[in-house]
A and B are shown apart, each in its own frame.
Chain A
Amino acid sequence: MQKFYLYFGTLLIFLAAVASSRGYSLWSSVTTGRFSPTGPRAYHK
């Protein structure tokens, strides 16, 4: 269990660091309900 915690924690911190470096906010996704950027769309005036 300790080993699992170590591996899981390392992975989680790595994911948090990657997400933050790319500007993603998991908390913002949870509060807005938008879990992944839908990406830009074509803009129509």
Chain B
Amino acid sequence: MAGDLPPESGAPPASAPPPASKPSVRVFQCPGCGATLNIKAVGQTITVGCGSCGATLDTSREDVQLVEKGQVLKRRIDLPIGTRGQFEGSVFEILGVMGRHDEASGYAWKEYLLFNPYQGFRWLSEAGGQWSYVSPLKGVPKVDDSISFKTGMKPRAELGGRTFVHFQNSVGIVDFVIGEFYWRVRKGDKSKLADYVDPPDLLSCETNESERIWTRCTYLTPEAVGAAFRLPNPLPYAIGVAPNQPNPYLERWRGLRDTWFLFTIAILVLFVLHKIRSPHQELFEESLHYEPTATAAEKVVRLGPYEITGNGNFELDLHADLNNSYFDADVDLVNDSTGEAHDMQVGAEYWSGYDSDGSWSEGSTSGDDLETGIGPGTYHLVITPSAANGANTPTPVSYRLKGVRGVSVGSNFFLAWLILSVYPLFTFFRSSAFESERWSNSDYAPSDSGDGDDWSSDD
């Protein structure tokens, strides 16, 4: 790109220069410390950061100029300069590493410049162990800056049929440069950055006074980066959630959601059918009285006979006039033909009174019992009741007993639905928590200030 002066202020030029037709290496000595440095992207590299003394050098001309002296600081560089890795089917070599931080938050990240003589330049961006493969964008996205707190609409960028939602604006400041760069860059250079996400991709718009550059950042796991470079040791594990990190629970939730919805419909349909088909035949409803002073034989109540057709269940419903007392009844449901009896029990207790907080009550005046496996036949009931007050003194009680056969049992369906809802709900909440953590790092994170323009406001 003869005659073109690359832009200042840290931003790479809009288009990287075309790759050299013949790879070659230029060797020179750092004017700051005398260390031997190589330039691999000959004809393209115009800035070199010396890894030994931290100096920034201008290599655009034959005589290397010292732009700025640097400091030798211990920095964690996961991928040393010269490391080679495979991306998009080609081998790229790391030429340079640049460290930047956000002016407002101090959030720091590194950018590794990759070079292939035939494919050109790419980058790897890393922050907190989260990686992205950065490539120049073909085309300019259509940006819509509309924003609405009411509807939750954020600015968006549209490209290739995809919608990328605005994540954050920041100002990136260069902290250090080591290695080769094809544009003029030095410590302290600033660029405005605007990020739009549609995981696993992020569109980043970098702007300075003279131009605007769009890049696509595709999320990579540390394992994928390690595999690309065939590193002997694993890279540091990722911390937190990256803006473009795919949500592993979202796809799972979407799949489960559809199945769970189908299950809910199936359960509802089956329940309604079961309800319609249940005979719910009332066999008797009797008003009875328990008198504690009666003889043992007089206390026992016999009801029936009742005819039961078909197999199914039998339910006893009790309502008792209780006043700080309890009522229990042992009930034998006896098949007159076979002489077999089913044991049932119904009971109720009700207590009430006044204390310093006012009136109180506890318990219920009704109870029930359900017996299953009742076959067809003629049955009678043998009821042995008992009742007492709080002092355990037997007390007379009037009660009403109803017997129904073939009651619908909807609780089985409800229990099945509850059990089947646990895993989808758990996945939904995990997915939501993942998204909350993602967006907690954005410009739209809920704030505690309660200001009128709070993104979480209901206005």
Contacts and interface: CB of A to CB of B under 8 A. Distances in A.
Interface stretch (B128-136, B178-186, B364-372): B364-372
Interface string B384-423: 0000000000000000000000111111111110011001
A23 B335 contact: no
Given A26-B412, A27-B415, A37-B373, A16 B267 contact: yes
Contact of B423 (A5, A26, A38, A42): A5
Interface in A1-45: 1-2, 5-6, 9, 12-13, 15-17, 19-28, 32, 37-43
B372 A13 contact: no
A16 to B, nearest CB: 4
Given A1-B252, A12-B420, A40-B342, A23 B313 contact: yes
Contacts, number: 107
B270 A13 contact: yes
Nearest to B251: A2
A18 B164 CA distance: 50
A12 B419 contact: yes
A37 B256 CA distance: 36
A44 to B, nearest CB: 8
A29 B342 CA distance: 15
Contacts of B409: 19-20, 23-25, 28
A26 B270 CA distance: 17
B30 interface: no
Contact of B332 (A5, A26, A43): A43
5 contacts: A12-B419, A13-B267, A17-B274, A19-B409, A40-B338
Interface of B: 252, 255-256, 259-260, 263, 266-267, 270-271, 274, 277, 311-313, 332, 334-335, 338-343, 369-374, 382, 406-416, 419-420, 423
Given A17-B413, A24-B313, 16 more contacts: A5-B420, A9-B263, A12-B419, A13-B267, A19-B409, A20-B409, A22-B311, A22-B313, A22-B373, A23-B374, A25-B409, A26-B412, A27-B412, A37-B342, A40-B335, A42-B339
